[in-house]
Amino acid sequence: MHYLKMQEGFDIAGTFFSFAADGLYYYDTLNPDNPENFDIENFKPTHILHAGALTFVDYCETHPEESELKTVQSTRNILKIAEKYHSKIIYISTDYVFDGKAGPYDEKAEVNPISVYASHKLEAEMLVRNQSEGNLILRVTNVYGDEIRNKNFVARLVEMGQHHEKVTLNLPVDQYATPVNALDIAKALHLLIKDNKAGVYNIAATDYLNRVQLARKVMTRFPVNEVSIISKLTSELKQPALRPLQGGLKSEKFLTEYPYFYFSSVDEYLYSKNL
């Protein structure tokens, strides 16, 4: 979560809950009264960026109470803070609010979550929307880019290739999405905050790939690698939670308002890393 103060620029205080990193402050969104929490009172944020959720989709399916607590209740707690300081909420949501039968989706498409995780993300999204028409919701999916732990799919594949890891990956050939670079999300978000935009914006680049295609795109950058990619249908993977198959998002609304914005591609990201 990030707290922002709008002055001539942005004064930002980033917080963490379960993973500490340099420059971040501890904040327990499940216990706002924790004395170890970041001192919001003195910071007095004008904006609160809330990206916290329990994101392990299959785990959520078998642990719905924990999913509700970490995704929905945490959002309720943040909304109370926003009310106290008259802060604008910026909530990071997902294409999983759709059922994946007719993607990629624009902002007007009918939502229909098909998993516990998706239902809780939509519930949290609706809480944010109902609290104030001035709040901002960004839907994203398949986010990739540089990060400390290399947890995102693309960064993890790059790491496998660089370290010559011997791995067999069973990947769904029928799950499509729109990968987007985290840096592009940050740039888009900067514009939306600066211009005081509100409502729902889908943020996505132009790549539209299934998991197998995405993995092969990355691994072809490593002519010598030991990563074996096996194509599977989602039904063969026996995952506890249903996935939207034809998922992904359209950025037409955002690009209509910011026609000169450029979304980078997965290939450009890989090129930037000299792969």
Query: Could you tell me where the beta strands, DSSP code E, fall in 7-119?
Result: 10-16, 25-26, 47-50, 88-94
Those residues with Cβ within 8 angstroms of residue 154's Cβ, 6 or more apart along the chain or in another chain: 144, 145, 179, 214, 218, 266, 269
Whole-number pLDDT of residue 47? 93
Whole-number pLDDT of residue 150? 86
6 lies in some domain: yes
Helix (H, G, I), strand (E, B) or coil at 13: strand
229 lies in some domain: no
The answer to whether 212 and 236 are in contact (CB under 8 A) is: no
What token pair was written down for 64? 């719905």
Whole-number pLDDT of residue 149? 86
| Cα Rg of the chain, angstroms | 19
Percent of the residues in the chain that have a pLDDT greater than 90, as a whole number? 86
202 lies in some domain: yes
Whole-number pLDDT of residue 273? 87
Which residue do the tokens 């916290």 mark? 52
Query: Could you tell me where the beta strands, DSSP code E, fall in the chain?
Result: 2-6, 10-16, 25-26, 47-50, 88-94, 136-140, 143-144, 167-172, 176-177, 180-181, 199-202, 209-210, 227-232
Q: What is the pTM of this model?
A: 0.94
On the question of pLDDT at 242 being above 70, the answer is yes
On the question of pLDDT at 206 being above 60, the answer is yes
What token pair was written down for 232? 């599977």
223 lies in some domain: no
Helix, strand, coil share (%) of the chain residues, nearest 5: 35, 20, 45
Whole-number pLDDT of residue 3? 59
What's the one-letter identity of residue 175? Q
What is the CATH number for 103?
3.40.50.720
Helix (H, G, I), strand (E, B) or coil at 53: coil
* H/E segment holding residue 113: none
Domain enclosing residue 185, as ranges: 2-148+179-207+245-272
78 lies in some domain: yes
On the question of pLDDT at 2 being above 70, the answer is no
pLDDT averaged over every residue in the chain: 94
Whole-number pLDDT of residue 4? 60
Whole-number pLDDT of residue 274? 84
56 lies in some domain: yes
As a whole number of angstroms, the distance between CA 50 and CA 232 comes to 34
Cis bond upstream, residue 244 (ω within 30): no
Could you tell me whether strands 25-26 and 143-144 are parallel, antiparallel, or unpaired per DSSP bridges? unpaired
**Confidence category of residue 20, pLDDT binned at 50, 70, 90:** confident
84 lies in some domain: yes
As a whole number of angstroms, the distance between CA 265 and CA 195 comes to 25
As a whole number of angstroms, the distance between CA 125 and CA 140 comes to 13
What token pair was written down for 28? 């327990």
Could you tell me whether strands 199-202 and 2-6 are parallel, antiparallel, or unpaired per DSSP bridges? unpaired
Q: At what angle do helices 116-131 and 74-85 cross, to 10 degrees?
A: 10
Query: What is the number of structural domains in the chain?
Result: 1
What's the one-letter identity of residue 17? F
C-alpha distances in Å from residue 11, one per residue of 46, 82, 88, 156: 10, 17, 15, 31
Higher-pLDDT residue of 14 and 145 is: 145
240 lies in some domain: no
**Confidence category of residue 30, pLDDT binned at 50, 70, 90:** very high
